[in-house]
Structure 1
Amino acid sequence: MTIDPDPIPVTLRWAVHILRAEAVAVGLVAAWLVWSDLTATTTDLPSALLVTAFAVGAAVALWALGGALVRRRAGARAPAIVLQLMLLPIGWFMIQGGLGWLGVPLIALGLGVTGLLVSSPTNRALGFE
C-alpha cells in the first residue's frame, strides 16, 4: 500500500469537485441544445450550432481542467480561474434581466471557486509557494 506523502489539500479537492460538477451541468445543457437543434422547426442553424459547440467545448474544458488540477498541473489554474470569472458577467446580466435567483448563485459560485483556486493550500500544492 502506497501512502501519498503530500495529499491534495481540501481547497484544491473542492475546486476540482465543483469544476467537474459544472462540467456535468454544462454537458446537460449541451445535450439539451443538441436535442433542441435536431427538433426545432425553424432555426438559424449556424447560430444554433455555434451555441451548441460553445456549450460542448465549455463542458470538455471544465472537465479537463479539473483533471489537470487533480494531477497538480499548475498551468491549469489560470484557465480555470478565467472560466470561473466568466460567471460574473453572466450572473450580472441574469440579475439585470430579472433572474436574480439564478444570477446571484452564479456570481457566488464563480467567486467561491476562484477563491479556492488562489488559496494558500492550493498555491502550495501547485508549486506556487
Structure 2
Amino acid sequence: MTSVPEPLPGSLRWAVWLLRAQGIALGLLTLFLVYATLRATASLVGGLLVTVFALAGAAALWALAVALGRRRTIARAPAIVLQFMLVPIGYYMIQGGLAWIGAPLIVLGLLVCGLLLSGPTNRALGFDTERA
C-alpha cells in the first residue's frame, strides 16, 4: 500500500516556486551572456568564465528548488546562502545607480529566506520546532 504524501505547505511551495523562477531568470541571463560572449571583441576567456558561473548558478537554484519540493532537508541551507547573497548584490546595484533592480533583489532574497525559515516549512522538512 502506498501512501499519498501531504501537499507542501504554502510557504514551502512559494519558496520552491521563487527558487525555480530565479533559476529560469538566471538561465535566460546565461543565454544572453552566451550571445554577448560570442559577439564580444574583448577577452573570450573572461566572458566564458562569467557565462559558466551564471549557468552553474541557474543549475544550482533549479536543483535546490527540486530538492526542496521533494522535502530534502539538506537543500535548505544552501538555498538560504544563495538568497543571502542577493543582499550584497542588490546593495552594490543600488550604489551603482540601479536601485530599480537592486532593491527588489534584496527584498526577494529576504522573502525567500523568511519562507524557508517559517514554521510550516520547518515542520514540512522535519525540523523539530518544539523543544521539550
Indicate whether the TM-score tops 0.5.
yes
Runs of 4 or more, structure 1, over 3 Å off, are 2-5
Q: Aligned pair in 2 of structure 1 residues 5, 75: CA closer, same or farther (>3 Å)?
A: closer
CA distance in 2, matches of 1:104, 1:39: 31
- How many aligned positions are there? 127
Gapped regions of structure 1 (runs ≥ 5): none
Counterpart amino acid of 2:7? P
Q: Deviation of residue 4 (structure 1)? A: 3.3
Q: Aligned pair in 2 of structure 1 residues 52, 5: CA closer, same or farther (>3 Å)?
A: closer
**Identity between Structure 1 and Structure 2 (%):** 62
Q: Deviations over 1:68-107 (max 9, x none)?
A: 0000000000000011001000000011111111111000
Gapped regions of structure 2 (runs ≥ 5): none
Residue of structure 2 equivalent to 1:38: 38
CA distance in 2, matches of 1:5, 1:73: 14
Counterpart amino acid of 1:82? V
- TM-score normalised per structure 1: 0.94
Residue of structure 1 equivalent to 2:29: 29
> Any residues of structure 2 matched to 1:63-102 within 5 Å, and which?
63-102=62-101
Residue of structure 1 equivalent to 2:55: 56
CA distance in 1, matches of 2:30, 2:102: 20
CA distance in 1, matches of 2:118, 2:110: 12
Q: Deviation of residue 5 (structure 1)? A: 5.1
Counterpart amino acid of 2:121? T
> Which secondary structure does the structure 2 equivalent of 1:8 belong to?
coil
CA distance in 2, matches of 1:61, 1:5: 25
Matched, 1:8 2:47: no
Between 1:2-11 and 1:90-99, the stretch displaced more is 2-11
CA distance in 1, matches of 2:105, 2:78: 18
